[in-house]
Amino acid sequence: MTMQNPVTPAIDLRHLTKRFGGHTAVDDVNISVPPGSFLVLVGPSGCGKSTLLRMLAGLEPPTDGEITFGGKVVSNGKGGVVTNASARDTGLVFQSYALWPHKTVEGNIDWPLKVAGWSKADRSKRIEEVLRFLDIEALRHRYPAEISGGQQQRVAIARTIGPRPGILLLDEPLSNLDAKLRVDMRSELMRIHRATKATSVYVTHDQVEAMTMATHVAVLKDGRVEQFGPPDELLLKPQTTFVATFLGTPAGNLIPVKREGDALAFLEMALASSTLAPGLEEAQLLYRAQDITIGAREGRPTVRARYAESAPIAGQSMVTCLVGDLRVTAMVDGFFRAEPGAEVALCFLRDPDAVFNAEGIRIQQ
């Protein structure tokens, strides 16, 4: 039997750590990314995702650990930055676009090629290619101040992909755009990724962007990777309560329960069998919004709640209620409204989607 050689990861991070004084911004991150992947680093503000991207770009040296591109070590925490940022075969798209204001669109695209040692003829040919590819040929003689934010974003991308980098790094590149343009540019970035075949690393706090664009997602919290894998895996099998409630629209509901006899109970209402949490006196049950509705159903557990708000979504209503201080989201067919504070019945339609211990770690079933 012939053994196949494993594919060398495009990006391999081993125990990557970054400290600023007494603060640990990135804490022992281990990720291996196959070539051609679209990796999204997602998490709340301050979770370390931009610091991680800056280390990949060579703008920050790691305190500890190692970064490998295509089998070659480019940074090592013990030895500092091994490979300069300019020699890493990476391209970086900044959140602020960072275009040179005194250069035209054509000049912005030309300069990195010139620095990289491309001949004038090759630069001219490549500029034509990326202008056409991003549909900004008509802007070539304009300056950044003379074009819109969306057009500036296209120019920033054109400048970055011009030298054909093997790894494309994007630091919240859509955050300055309006909602409609963000959606349009998401599709554009995915088209660019497919066409360039570059391995892409994309930073965002927007989990919708993460789920839409990624082949792989790393969810970060307090500098650590909570979970890493394909988007559907993280949605269907979250390993922590943070992942379970951070990803998904609407977010999942975590219901705290206590063992009462052979049941896991919430406010003395039995929700599930205690066999789902063997040996535990307390647990947290994950219910998707579609697994909870408004109004009692025969044979299904129901608790009283106070109506807070609702939002229409694709022919349904996403209804948020309060049970004490706990916010619970349910889905209802059609249009639903009630007076704020009105009492409603929350009905749990099926067993929990997952069970977590009190520390927020999934109990495998």
Mean per-residue pLDDT for 165-171?
A: 93
What architecture is domain 250-356? Beta Barrel (2.40)
3-state secondary structure of 79: coil
3-state secondary structure of 21: coil
C-alpha distance from residue 29 to each of 16, 197, 347 (Å): 5, 25, 40
For the chain, the domains span 11-239, 250-356
Structure tokens at 338: 């009630």
Q: How many CB atoms lie within 10 A of CB 339?
A: 8
**Strand-pair category, 302-313 with 269-273:** unpaired
Alpha helices, DSSP H, located in the chain:
49-57, 105-115, 120-133, 149-161, 179-196, 207-213, 231-236, 241-246
Tokens 């349009």 identify what position? 184
Give the C-alpha separation, 198 to 166, whole Å. Answer: 5
Give the C-alpha separation, 110 to 107, whole Å. Answer: 5
Give the C-alpha separation, 326 to 329, whole Å. Answer: 10
With the CA atoms of 316, 318, 319 and 321 taken in that order, what torsion angle do they form, in degrees rounded to the nearest 10?
160
Mean per-residue pLDDT for 330-347?
A: 93
Average pLDDT for the chain: 92
**Residue pLDDT, tens place only, 278-325:** 999 999 999 999 999 999 999 999 999 999 999 998 889 999 999 999
250 preceded by a cis bond (ω within 30 of 0): yes
**Residue pLDDT, tens place only, 233-256:** 999 999 999 999 999 888 899 999
User: In CATH, what number does 11-239 get?
Assistant: 3.40.50.300
**Residue pLDDT, tens place only, 34-89:** 999 999 999 998 999 999 999 999 999 999 999 999 999 999 988 777 888 888 88
Percent over 90 (pLDDT), the chain: 77
In 194-315, the DSSP E strands lie at 199-204, 216-221, 224-229, 253-260, 263-266, 269-273, 282-287, 292-294, 302-313
Give the pLDDT confidence score for residue 1 in this predicted structure.
46
Give the pLDDT confidence score for residue 5 in this predicted structure.
53
Answer yes or no: are the C-beta atoms of 238 and 285 closer than 8 Å: no
Give the pLDDT confidence score for residue 173 in this predicted structure.
86
Give the pLDDT confidence score for residue 161 in this predicted structure.
92
Check whether 3 has a pLDDT greater than 60: no
Closest CA to 330 of 356, 348, 350: 348
**Single-letter amino acid code for the residue at 119:** S
**Residue pLDDT, tens place only, 115-145:** 989 999 999 999 999 999 998 999 999 999 9
Give the global pTM.
0.89
Give the C-alpha separation, 144 to 66, whole Å. Answer: 38
Q: What are phi and psi of 60, to 5 degrees?
A: -135, 135
Check whether 273 has a pLDDT greater than 90: yes
Is pLDDT larger for residue 80 or for residue 27? 27
Percent over 70 (pLDDT), the chain: 98
**Residue pLDDT, tens place only, 179-226:** 888 888 888 899 999 998 999 999 998 888 888 899 999 999 999 999
Structure tokens at 37: 């992947």
Give the pLDDT confidence score for residue 365 in this predicted structure.
60
Give the pLDDT confidence score for residue 47 in this predicted structure.
94
Give the pLDDT confidence score for residue 268 in this predicted structure.
87
C-alpha distance from residue 145 to each of 8, 139, 141, 142 (Å): 43, 12, 12, 8
CA-based torsion, 134, 185, 218, 227: positive or negative: negative
